[in-house]
Structure formats: structure tokens, C-alpha cells
């Protein structure tokens, strides 16, 4: 059992729903107890879709358990087919139905429906949402495209001269963080490079579209958490190489262009006029961003991309990096080692909270959950990854990928930080009644926010005392670095055997750590 | 639980006549409803020193997070102990695990006085004995923390039935009232402002002592005994009522306090029980009735003659339909409810217009067909259906809000009506 205040991912069948809802002509029959239809709200409310997800639930109740829940499933599947006439049907179980062991896959196949029926085995007590989405996408791709596979020995015919190369975009789903606009931005980028997008999947694709996947020259994996197993299968089956770089950030977008050019054989230079991040970041207004201590957490792809942007493109210092995507733990560990850190690989919200509390960063780049932590600790934060809430499915064009994505990122990450002049003035004048210590940045408009000295949940007990004048001096340090100063001083005192921290100790510690 | 809605149902929709003289359409199929865990979203705010620990799967955690997380940025007073495959392997082990999780939780939240272990579909299906776990943990944690258990699983409870199960689990904990003492107990979580209004009205009527279940703090559990007379403030409290009766309390039959008529009848039922003279009731309720009448007149102009269709959700549908039809002149085409407790709703049903179709249970696709055919002016439904129906051009009122908004009593009658006029006004306003 795991104590869970917030969960980073839903159960795997929600991942399967994201695939079914993203696609056209697919219906999902889910063996699930009454109440699991809450998942519809994710799509109708958070993503504001204008139609119901293509999901039929059996919604069995306690009184059904004594009778034939398998029959209930068969009826639901049959009626769903008759009503919705899909081109393909996914069938599976939610966590409770998994315990009943009715075998939805076998039952649905026995119905003899005249469409492909794709059984899903999603172990709900071991795996989670992204795994469920990846597994489902892989199964659907196989079911639809396998019949067109040729022997691996057959070489892909070269595209005729004068024809533009074409690729598939793999990974965007329903309920994906900025998937809608990332697809537009990457499609535009590829078009400028002279490359056509053949099929985008699963978002907007039908089973017939998936059957055509093999006709593309290569694949672009936008979201490896979802599309990597499918891309690897397509590589084995159709000799389609796939592009591994994820174009989030200016450096990454350049690397993406280089990799696409290599894979496709195009050699078209591309104008970077859309990318304002490099100049914005170089302009002197951004100088104060240098060395801002950032904590980064999210799914692996977004966390890795964010770390690179934060360190190479914005000049932040990364003090913590982690992910809840265990499937990509190795990549995140490697990246963290590059920043001299140990990666935090966990899906335990309380562990993340403890680390943020211990590190006292100046900005938290994370998920909706890290917004909770940051709010509690009074630290500025921006959302870089799912899970997200309704405000992160905005009406306006808001990609994370490509050059426009970098513009969006610059604006949204810098926004929560106190602006430079205000930061200076706060450091100089501590007792202003209005722009007081710990008040939220005044450009955010929360004038009456109380002092935001963090109420840390159960910090390690420290036996070292503070002399009053040292405590007072600590209060003169701007609040967003004060937590760090306190910890450093206490650590310095502990290491050098000082029992009471005086003014001297405070400045000794400052000198010690500024080396 | 299941005995509380014991009517026989087969696969096909059935029409049957219960005690009251009405035809009820009974259906089963896909039910687009919440499970009882959702009750935690408001209960954790009502009982301020209680904590709700769901023992379930990641789905359960995801559900409460999705239902409540939109609004909740502070640390909530609920969490989930997520079962994993090790727990499914052997039951003895699961109890140790539960003890460990509870210990970690109580360490983190020392302010907790009352902890509910909330059963879910997975914990019910694997028959994890949470009642016994609650007993065991109470022994080790008392007197600091009291630990109770109820089921909020989807297989046993629908949405507001979670509150019923929670309150029913509290009833055995209530202190024994002196046998001679006559007291009024109001059952059902009400918003604090409504609770205070009712408290003042009962005081003016001369009814005392008055207690409310649930209380705002775990230490303030109301006493119960043979002298206790109980008014139900919510229509979904079947098991709670039965548990109170088992403690000797008497349920006062009444309309539910929604709208001016419902509130008056509800207060009158208690007043009659206390032998309070009619003119005193008239005098005490007159200002409230006058204010409600003034507030409702404005909304009646907008709602009169409009046709309304209710999808099943909370069991509030029947009293709400009675209020909207009788006090605001709406015409109900279908009134769907997840369960119809004949005893508690008898008076309500008698006041519903004969033309309204009443349905119990759900086959959502067929009900959507009927809804489209009825072509109502306003549809009350859950959030899974609301935006899709809006996209079809059908105006909707999302039903969960009816649980999160003070709608009971005289001074909320206008607010309750406004919840239904707002979507219609909005549709008129928008030019795009």
C-alpha cells in the first residue's frame, strides 16, 4: 500500500481512454464498476471536448457480482457495436474488473463482430496511465498496420526524385499537455524543411490512417512516454527510422532539425525568425535570472527538456531534477549527473515535497502537483508537464515545442518570478508597508498576500540555536533566498561545531558557500 | 446497503407501480454517475477535524483528485492508500500495510481526531475487512483518534449515498441521550450558513435542543435515544435513518427543505411533533416566506413554462423537480433519480405533476435518446454529459453544483432558482 495525497498518473485504463478518445472510429468497451465514468470528465471538462469519449462502461454493481458479469460485458460490447458502428473496438478491464477475471478480450472475440477487436491487458496494480497509453497505442498500431508489413529483408523503395519526404507524427493524444499546439508547430517546422506529415497519430487518426503508417519514410516521436513502443515496432516492421530528439527549447529544436535532416536527407536551412527566446534571454533585463535556483519535476521528456532550457538557455542553476516516469529513469539519472545532482525518481508526492522543502529553490518547474507544493512553500512556480488542470488547456496558441514553443516557455517561466527592480528594492528596503517582505511579486497583483515564510512539514530537527541578532540579520536577506541561507548557515554551524549561530557565523557561512 | 434499494430489476426496462399511484420507469445499463467516494469532497470540509483515507486503487485516488483537485490547492484532508499487487497476494499482509500507512498519516497530520477508512470497489471485491481494521486501529490510537469505516465503493453506492454511508457509520458512535429528553436531530450535511438559519428558526419556534448530524467537529457528536426526533435534511439518507431508528430515534416524515413550500412543510412537521401552535409557525416563518416569494418571482418570469429534464445523479432530483414545477412553473418531462426511496419521498412524489415521467436507474444511451426526443429547454446532468449536450445545442445545468451550493431554506430559495436561470440567461446573452 502506498499513501497517496496526489497521484501523478491515473490508472492504465485512463491511458487507453486517451488513445481511444484521440482517435476517430475507435470505440472502447471497458469492464468497470459504477462510478468509473468519472473519467469522462477529464475529457469533457479539463480538455473541454464537445462530445462524449467513445467509451462504453459496463458499470456493474454489487448485486451483479453474484450473477454473470461476463454476460453483462458481452451485452455492453454488442450494444456498443450496434449503436456506434466503430471501425475497431478496444476492450479491457479497469482495476476492479481485473480482479473479477472475466477476460473481456476473449468474450469480445467470441461475439464475432465484423471489425477488428483489440484486447488490452493493462495490469492496474502495477502500471499507470502513460504505460497504458503506450501499450494501447502499440496494440492498435499493430492491429491496424501489421497486415501491410513486408518481410524485413525488403528494402524501403526510395521516394521518387522531386517528391517531398514524408513522416508520421507519433504520440499526441487526448488530454496531453499542449499536444494540440505542439502538433501544429512541429508540422509547420517540418513543412519549412520540405517534409510532409503523412499521418499524425493517435490524435485525429482513424484505424484506416494507422493502416497507412508504413507508407511514410520515417517517424517523429513527439512523446516517447506514449509512442516509443509503437515507433520501435514500426522500425522493425517497416524499416522506418524514428527521430529521437524532442524539439522543446531552442537548442533542442536545432538538434531536432539536424536529426530530421539526417534521417530524411533534406538539407534545407531554416530561418529562426520565430524564436525570440535567445535575444530575450540575452537582453540585460534577463541578467538577474542568472543562477536562479530551479527545481524541475515532471514526466521524463518534459523534465529533461526543461533542465536543458533552464541551464543553457535561461542561465538558471538546477538544484533538483526528477521524474515520475520510471520507464525513463535512466535517462533522467544521466542528465541529473551532468548537473552534479542525483535524480529524484518517484511517484510519491510527499517525497517530492520533502525535497523541494529541503532544497528551497527560487523557482519550481513542475506539474500541477508541484504548484501545490510551491504554493504551500511560497515559491514561484510554472507548469511544464502533465498532470495539469483546465487552465493548462488554454484557448490561445500555446505550444511547448519548436521556436514558438520556446517563446511561450520564456514568458511563462519568467512570469512568476519577481521582476528585477522590485527584487533589488526589496533587498535594500525591508520595511515598506506595501511591498513588504514575502509579499507576492507586485506584478501578480496579490497585494495582501501574507508573509510567505514556509511552514515546512516536519523538517529535520536542528539543535543549533540562533542568537537574536543573527536571526534578525537573517530576516534582512530577501525571502526567496532566505530559506537557502538558513539551511546553509545551519549546515556550516553543524559541520564546524558551532552551538549558537551568531552574526559572525552567518557571514562565515556566507563566505564559505560563496566559494 | 443493497437491501436499501431492493426492487427487482431485469435487463429490460420495466414499468411498475409502487405504493404511490405513479408509474416508474426502471432501467439498467450504463450508469453515468459518480461513486460514493465523491461525498468526501464536501464531507471533509464539513467535519473539520476528520480525515478520509480511501483504501483502493489508483483509480480511486485519481477520481477524488479529479473531482476535488480542480478546487483544492491547500493540503486536503483526504488521501488514498493505493493497493498494489503485493497487497493482492495475501490479506494478512494488507492489514500490516494499512497500519503502516495510518501511522505515517497520523504522524503527518497530528490534528486529526476522526479517521474514516473508506472502502472502495477493489477493497470490497477482495473483501479486505476494513471494519475490523478500524476496530484494531482504534484500540491502538485512542483516545487521540477515533477510527471508523464505511464503503464509498461504486458497486455499492452512488454519489450522495457516500454521505449516507459515512453518517450511518457515525450513528453507533453517538452518545446515548437521556431517555426522557426530547430533542430534534437534523440529519444531512448542510452548509454552515443554512445550518445556522435553521438553528435560529427552531429556536424561534421553541424547539430545543436541536442537534445536527454531521457535526462540525468530531468531539461534538449529537446524542441520540428514544426521545430523539429526526428531520432528514437530505433525501439520500436511507441507511442513516435506519441506523438512527435502531438507536430509538423517530423519523419525522416531511418534504425536504428546498423552496419555500418545502421549507415550510419541513419546519411544520417538526412544529407539529412539538405541538407548537399554528399561529406561532405562521409568525416565525412569515418573514422567510415573504423573502422567498419576492426572490422567486423574478426567476419565475424566466422559468415559467420551460421544460426540464433530469438525469439521475444525487437523489435531489425529485425534491428539486417538485420545487421547480410548483414554485417556478417549470414543466418536467423526465425526472431521473439513481434510487427512489419510496418512504422518504412519498410526500414529494404526491406533489409532482402527473405528466412527468419518473425514472429510476439508468441506461445512459437510451436516456439520451429520450432526452433528445423530449427536446427540453434545460437538462440537469453530470459533467460527463453537460458539454457534449451543449455542443448539440441543448442548454444544461450541471448537477454536482446542487450539492456544493447552499440551496435549502427560505433565504436560499432564490439562489436555488438562480442556478437554473443562469444557464438560460447565459445562452440568451452570448452573441457568439
**What whole-number distance in Å separates Cα of residue A88 and Cα of residue A25?**
7
In A198-257, the residues whose Cβ lies within 8 Å of chain B are: none
Q: Which residue has the cell 478496444?
A: A90
Residue B357 cell numbers, joined: 415521467
**What whole-number distance in Å separates Cα of residue A69 and Cα of residue A61?**
9
Residues in chain A, total: 515
Q: How many CB atoms lie within 10 A of CB B111?
A: 10
- The verdict on a CB contact (< 8 Å) between A62 and B124 is yes
- Given CB atoms, is A52 within the 8 Å cutoff of chain B? yes
Pairing of strands A2-4, B78-82: antiparallel
**What whole-number distance in Å separates Cα of residue A99 and Cα of residue B215?**
37
Find which of A34, A44, A64, A65 to mutate to test the B interface (most B CBs within 10 Å of its CB). A34
Q: Which residue has the cell 438559519?
A: B197
**What whole-number distance in Å separates Cα of residue A232 and Cα of residue B264?**
69
Find which of A15, A27, A35, A95 to mutate to test the B interface (most B CBs within 10 Å of its CB). A35
Q: Which helix (H) or strand (E) holds A466?
A: strand A465-466
pLDDT on residue A459 = 43
> How large is the greatest C-alpha to C-alpha distance in chain A, in angstroms?
82
- Given CB atoms, is A128 within the 8 Å cutoff of chain B? yes
- The verdict on a CB contact (< 8 Å) between A371 and B73 is yes
Q: Which residue has the cell 519568467?
A: A414
Q: Label residue B9 exposed, middle or buried (CB < 10 Å: 0-12, 13-18, 19+).
A: middle
Residue A231 cell numbers, joined: 515507433
Pairing of strands A500-501, B14-16: unpaired
Query: Would you list the DSSP string of A362-426?
Result: SEEEE-HHHHHHHHHHT--EEE-SSS--GGGS-SS---SBHHHHHHHHHHHHHTTSPPHHHHHHH
Query: Would you list the DSSP string of A228-246?
Result: HHHHHHHHHHH---EE---
Pairing of strands B24-28, B14-16: antiparallel
- The verdict on a CB contact (< 8 Å) between A372 and B75 is yes
Helix (H/G/I), strand (E/B), else coil: A4: strand
Q: Which residue has the cell 457480482?
A: A65
Cis bond upstream, residue A351 (ω within 30): no
Rounded to a whole number of angstroms, the distance from the CA of A405 to the nearest CA of chain B is 26
**Residue B35: strand pairing partners:** B158
pLDDT on residue A447 = 47
> What is the CA angle A327-A330-A333, rounded to 5?
125
Helix (H/G/I), strand (E/B), else coil: A492: helix
Q: Which helix (H) or strand (E) holds A80?
A: helix A69-84
- The verdict on a CB contact (< 8 Å) between A99 and B34 is no
- A–B CB contacts, 8 A cutoff, strictly below: 192
- Cα-based distances in Å from A95 to A130, A133, B83: 15, 15, 10
B94 interaction partners in chain A (CB closer than 8 Å): 1
Q: What is this structure's pTM?
A: 0.91
Rounded to a whole number of angstroms, the distance from the CA of A489 to the nearest CA of chain B is 27
**What whole-number distance in Å separates Cα of residue B360 and Cα of residue B7?**
11
Give me the long-range contacts of A484-487 (CB less than 8 A, separation at least 24).
A484/A293, A484/A359, A484/A360, A485/A509, A485/A510, A487/A358, A487/A360
pLDDT on residue B89 = 80
Helix (H/G/I), strand (E/B), else coil: B250: strand
Rounded to a whole number of angstroms, the distance from the CA of A488 to the nearest CA of chain B is 26
B121 interaction partners in chain A (CB closer than 8 Å): 33, 35, 95-96
Helix axes A402-414, A250-264, angle to 10 degrees: 170
Provide the mean pLDDT of chain B: 91
Find which of A10, A11, A36, A38 to mutate to test the B interface (most B CBs within 10 Å of its CB). A38
In A371-400, the residues whose Cβ lies within 8 Å of chain B are: 371-372, 375-376, 389-390
Nearest-CB residue to B63 (from A38, A60, A368): A38
- The verdict on a CB contact (< 8 Å) between A35 and B388 is no
pLDDT on residue A433 = 62
**Residue B28: strand pairing partners:** B362
Residue B236 cell numbers, joined: 439520500
Helix (H/G/I), strand (E/B), else coil: B381: strand
pLDDT on residue B324 = 98
Q: Which residue has the cell 445512459?
A: B364
**What whole-number distance in Å separates Cα of residue A139 and Cα of residue A118?**
7
B199-212 pLDDT tens trace: 999 999 999 999 99
Find which of B32, B384, B386 to mutate to test the A interface (most A CBs within 10 Å of its CB). B384
Measure CA of the first residue to CA of the last residue in chain B; give whole Å: 48
Q: What is the DSSP letter of A476?
A: T
Helix (H/G/I), strand (E/B), else coil: A505: helix
pLDDT on residue B243 = 98
**What whole-number distance in Å separates Cα of residue B162 and Cα of residue B154?**
9
pLDDT on residue A448 = 44
A391 interaction partners in chain B (CB closer than 8 Å): none
Residue A97 cell numbers, joined: 474488473
Rounded to a whole number of angstroms, the distance from the CA of A3 to the nearest CA of chain B is 5
Helix (H/G/I), strand (E/B), else coil: A437: coil
Helix axes B383-391, B364-374, angle to 10 degrees: 40
Q: How confident is the model at residue B6 (pLDDT cuts 50, 70, 90)?
A: very low
**What whole-number distance in Å separates Cα of residue A464 and Cα of residue A481?**
20
- The verdict on a CB contact (< 8 Å) between B155 and A389 is no
B371-413 pLDDT tens trace: 999 999 999 999 999 999 999 999 999 999 999 899 999 999 9
Which residue in the list A285, A299, A347, A411 is annotated as catalytic?
Answer: A285
Question: Which is nearest to B333 in space by CA: B372, B299, B364, B300?
Answer: B372
- The verdict on a CB contact (< 8 Å) between A62 and B85 is no
Residue A295 cell numbers, joined: 527545481
Answer whether B331's CB lies under 8 Å from B307's CB: yes
pLDDT on residue A483 = 81
Rounded to a whole number of angstroms, the distance from the CA of A118 to the nearest CA of chain B is 21
Q: Which residue has the cell 434499494?
A: B5
Phi, psi dihedral angles at B340 (to 5 degrees): -120, 105
Could you tell me which chain A residue has the CA closest to the CA of B8? A63
The one-digit pLDDT tens for each residue of chain A (515 residues) are 999 988 999 999 999 999 999 999 999 999 999 999 999 999 999 999 999 999 999 999 999 997 789 999 999 999 999 999 999 999 999 999 999 989 999 999 999 999 999 999 999 999 999 999 999 999 999 999 998 887 766 676 667 777 899 999 999 999 999 999 999 999 999 999 999 999 999 999 999 999 999 999 999 999 999 999 999 999 999 999 999 999 999 999 999 999 999 999 888 677 666 689 999 999 998 999 999 999 999 999 999 999 999 999 999 999 999 999 999 999 999 999 999 999 999 999 999 999 999 999 999 999 999 998 998 888 899 999 999 988 999 999 999 999 999 999 999 999 888 765 666 666 666 666 666 666 667 666 654 444 444 444 444 445 678 989 888 888 877 777 788 888 888 888 888 888 899 888 888 888 887 75
Query: Would you list the DSSP string of B68-125?
Result: HTTT--S--SEEEEE--HHHHH-HHHHHHHHHHHHHHHHHH-TT--EEEEEE-HHHHH
B79 interaction partners in chain A (CB closer than 8 Å): 3-5
Q: Which helix (H) or strand (E) holds B302?
A: helix B278-303
Share of chain B above pLDDT 70, in %: 93
Sheet of B396-398, strands arranged across = B14-16, B24-28, B357-362, B331-337, B307-310, B378-381, B396-398
B70 interaction partners in chain A (CB closer than 8 Å): 389-390
- The verdict on a CB contact (< 8 Å) between B125 and A96 is yes
B12-40 pLDDT tens trace: 455 544 445 678 999 999 999 999 999 99
**What whole-number distance in Å separates Cα of residue A173 and Cα of residue A222?**
11
- pLDDT score of B9 more than 50: no
pLDDT on residue B404 = 84
Please state the rounded mean pLDDT for residues B362-371.
97
Answer whether A171's CB lies under 8 Å from A133's CB: no
Q: Is A285 a catalytic residue?
A: yes
Residue B391 neighbours by CB under 8 Å, 6+ apart = A50, A51
Measure CA of the first residue to CA of the last residue in chain A; give whole Å: 45
- Cα-based distances in Å from A357 to A459, A460, B76: 8, 11, 18
B104-127 pLDDT tens trace: 999 988 999 999 999 999 999 999
pLDDT on residue B38 = 94
Residue B330 neighbours by CB under 8 Å, 6+ apart = B303, B304, B305, B306, B307, B308, B324, B378, B420
Residue A85 neighbours by CB under 8 Å, 6+ apart = none
Could you tell me which chain B residue has the CA closest to the CA of A50? B388
B281-300 pLDDT tens trace: 999 999 999 999 999 999 99
Answer whether B413's CB lies under 8 Å from B324's CB: no
pLDDT on residue B91 = 66
**What whole-number distance in Å separates Cα of residue B144 and Cα of residue B146?**
7
Rounded to a whole number of angstroms, the distance from the CA of B328 to the nearest CA of chain A is 30
Amino acid at each position: 500500500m502506498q499513501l497517496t495525497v496526489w497521484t501523478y498518473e491515473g490508472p492504465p485504463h485512463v491511458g487507453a481512454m486517451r488513445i481511444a478518445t484521440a482517435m476517430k472510429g475507435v470505440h472502447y468497451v471497458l469492464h468497470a464498476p459504477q462510478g468509473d465514468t468519472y473519467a469522462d470528465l477529464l475529457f469533457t471538462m479539463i480538455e473541454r471536448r464537445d462530445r462524449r469519449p467513445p467509451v462504453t462502461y459496463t458499470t456493474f454493481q454489487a448485486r451483479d457480482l453474484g450473477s454473470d458479469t461476463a454476460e453483462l460485458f458481452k451485452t455492453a460490447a454488442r450494444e456498443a457495436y450496434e449503436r456506434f458502428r466503430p471501425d475497431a473496438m478496444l476492450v479491457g478491464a479497469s482495476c476492479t474488473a481485473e480482479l473479477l477475471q472475466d477476460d473481456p478480450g476473449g468474450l469480445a472475440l467470441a461475439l464475432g463482430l465484423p471489425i477488428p477487436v483489440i484486447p488490452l491487458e493493462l495490469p492496474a496494480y502495477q502500471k499507470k496511465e502513460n504505460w497504458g497509453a503506450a501499450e494501447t497505442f502499440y496494440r492498435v498500431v499493430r492491429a491496424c498496420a501489421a497486415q501491410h508489413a513486408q518481410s524485413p529483408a525488403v528494402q524501403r523503395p526510395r521516394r521518387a526524385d522531386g517528391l517531398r519526404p514524408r513522416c508520421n507524427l507519433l504520440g499526441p493524444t487526448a488530454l496531453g499537455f499542449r499536444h494540440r499546439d505542439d502538433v501544429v508547430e512541429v508540422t509547420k517546422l517540418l513543412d519549412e524543411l520540405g517534409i510532409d506529415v503523412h499521418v499524425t497519430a493517435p490524435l485525429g487518426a482513424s484505424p484506416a490512417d494507422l493502416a497507412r503508417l508504413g507508407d511514410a519514410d520515417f517517424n517523429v516521436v513527439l512523446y516517447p512516454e506514449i509512442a516509443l513502443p509503437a515507433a520501435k515496432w514500426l522500425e522493425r516492421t517497416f524499416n522506418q527510422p524514428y527521430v529521437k530528439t524532442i524539439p522543446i527549447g531552442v537548442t533542442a529544436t536545432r538538434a531536432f532539425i539536424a536529426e530530421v535532416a539526417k534521417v530524411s536527407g533534406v538539407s534545407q536551412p531554416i530561418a529562426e525568425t520565430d524564436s525570440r527566446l535567445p535575444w530575450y534571454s540575452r537582453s540585460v533585463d534577463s541578467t538577474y535570472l542568472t543562477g536562479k535556483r530551479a527545481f524541475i519535476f515532471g514526466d521524463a521528456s518534459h523534465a529533461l527538456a526543461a533542465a536543458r532550457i533552464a541551464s543553457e538557455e535561461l542561465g538558471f542553476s538546477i538544484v533538483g531534477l526528477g521524474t515520475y516516469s520510471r520507464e525513463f529513469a535512466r535517462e533522467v539519472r544521466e542528465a541529473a549527473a551532468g548537473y552534479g545532482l542525483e535524480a529524484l525518481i518517484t511517484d510519491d508526492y510527499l517525497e517530492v515535497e520533502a525535497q523541494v522543502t529541503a532544497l528551497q529553490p527560487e523557482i519550481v518547474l513542475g506539474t500541477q502537483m508541484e504548484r501545490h507544493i510551491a504554493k504551500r512553500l511560497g515559491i514561484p512556480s510554472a507548469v511544464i508537464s502533465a498532470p495539469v488542470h483546465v487552465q493548462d488547456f488554454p484557448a490561445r496558441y500555446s505550444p511547448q515545442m519548436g521556436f514558438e514553443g520556446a517563446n511561450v516557455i520564456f514568458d511563462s517561466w519568467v512570469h512568476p518570478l519577481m521582476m528585477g527592480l522590485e527584487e533589488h528594492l526589496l533587498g535594500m528596503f525591508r520595511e515598506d508597508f506595501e511591498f513588504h517582505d514575502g509579499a507576492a511579486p507586485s506584478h501578480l497583483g496579490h497585494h495582501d498576500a501574507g508573509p510567505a515564510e514556509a511552514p515546512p512539514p516536519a523538517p529535520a530537527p536542528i539543535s543549533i540555536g540562533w542568537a537574536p541578532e543573527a536571526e534578525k540579520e537573517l530576516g534582512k536577506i530577501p525571502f526567496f533566498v532566505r530559506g537557502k541561507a538558513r539551511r546553509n548557515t545551519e549546515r556550516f554551524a553543524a559541520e564546524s561545531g558551532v552551538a549558537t549561530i551568531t552574526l559572525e557565523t552567518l557571514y562565515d557561512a556566507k563566505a564559505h558557500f560563496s566559494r | 446497503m443493497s437491501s436499501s434499494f431492493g426492487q427487482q430489476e431485469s435487463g429490460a426496462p420495466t414499468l411498475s407501480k409502487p405504493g404511490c399511484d405513479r408509474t416508474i420507469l426502471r432501467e439498467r445499463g450504463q450508469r453515468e454517475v459518480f461513486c460514493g467516494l465523491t461525498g468526501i469532497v464536501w464531507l471533509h470540509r464539513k467535519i473539520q477535524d476528520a480525515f478520509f483515507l480511501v483504501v483502493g486503487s489508483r483509480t480511486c485516488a485519481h477520481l477524488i483528485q479529479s473531482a476535488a483537485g480542480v478546487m483544492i490547492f491547500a493540503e486536503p484532508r483526504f488521501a488514498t492508500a493505493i493497493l498494489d499487487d503485493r497487497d493482492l497476494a495475501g490479506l494478512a499482509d494488507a492489514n500490516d500495510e494499512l497500519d503502516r500507512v495510518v501511522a505515517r498519516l497520523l504522524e503527518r497530520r497530528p490534528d486529526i481526531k476522526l479517521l474514516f477508512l473508506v472502502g472502495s470497489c477493489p477493497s470490497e471485491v477482495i473483501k479486505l475487512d476494513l471494519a475490523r481494521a478500524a476496530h484494531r486501529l482504534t484500540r491502538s490510537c485512542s483516545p487521540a483518534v477515533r477510527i471508523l469505516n464505511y464503503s464509498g465503493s461504486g458497486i455499492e453506492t452512488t454519489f450522495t449515498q457516500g454521505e449516507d454511508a459515512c453518517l450511518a457509520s457515525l450513528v453507533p458512535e453517538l452518545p446515548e441521550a437521556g431517555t426522557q429528553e426530547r430533542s430534534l436531530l437534523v440529519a444531512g450535511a448542510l452548509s454552515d450558513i443554512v445550518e445556522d438559519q435553521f438553528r435560529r428558526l427552531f429556536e424561534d419556534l421553541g424547539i430545543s435542543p436541536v442537534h445536527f448530524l454531521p457535526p462540525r467537529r468530531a468531539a461534538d457528536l449529537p446524542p441520540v435515544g428514544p426521545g430523539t426526533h429526526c428531520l432528514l435534511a437530505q433525501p439520500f439518507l436511507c441507511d442513516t435513518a435506519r441506523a438512527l431508528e435502531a438507536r430509538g430515534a423517530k423519523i419525522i416524515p416531511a418534504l425536504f427543505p428546498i423552496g419555500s413550500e418545502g421549507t415550510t412543510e419541513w419546519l411544520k412537521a417538526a412544529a407539529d411533533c412539538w405541538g407548537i401552535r399554528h399561529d406561532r409557525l405562521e409568525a416565525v416563518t412569515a418573514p422567510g416566506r415573504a423573502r422567498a416569494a419576492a426572490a422567486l418571482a423574478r426567476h419565475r418570469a424566466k422559468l415559467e413554462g420551460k421544460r426540464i429534464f433530469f438525469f439521475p445523479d444525487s437523489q435531489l432530483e425529485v425534491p428539486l423537480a417538485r420545487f421547480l414545477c410548483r414554485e417556478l412553473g417549470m414543466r418536467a418531462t423526465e425526472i431521473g433519480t439513481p434510487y427512489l426511496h419510496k418512504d422518504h419521498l412519498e410526500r414529494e412524489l404526491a406533489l409532482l405533476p402527473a405528466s412527468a415521467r419518473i425514472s429510476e436507474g439508468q441506461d445512459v444511451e437510451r436516456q439520451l435518446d429520450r432526452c433528445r426526443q423530449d427536446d427540453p429547454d434545460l437538462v440537469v446532468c453530470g459533467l460527463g454529459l453537460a458539454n457534449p449536450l451543449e455542443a448539440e445545442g441543448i442548454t444544461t445545468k450541471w448537477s454536482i453544483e446542487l450539492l456544493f451550493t447552499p440551496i435549502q431554506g427560505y433565504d436560499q430559495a432564490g439562489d436555488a432558482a438562480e442556478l437554473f436561470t443562469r444557464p438560460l440567461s447565459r445562452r440568451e446573452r452570448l452573441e457568439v
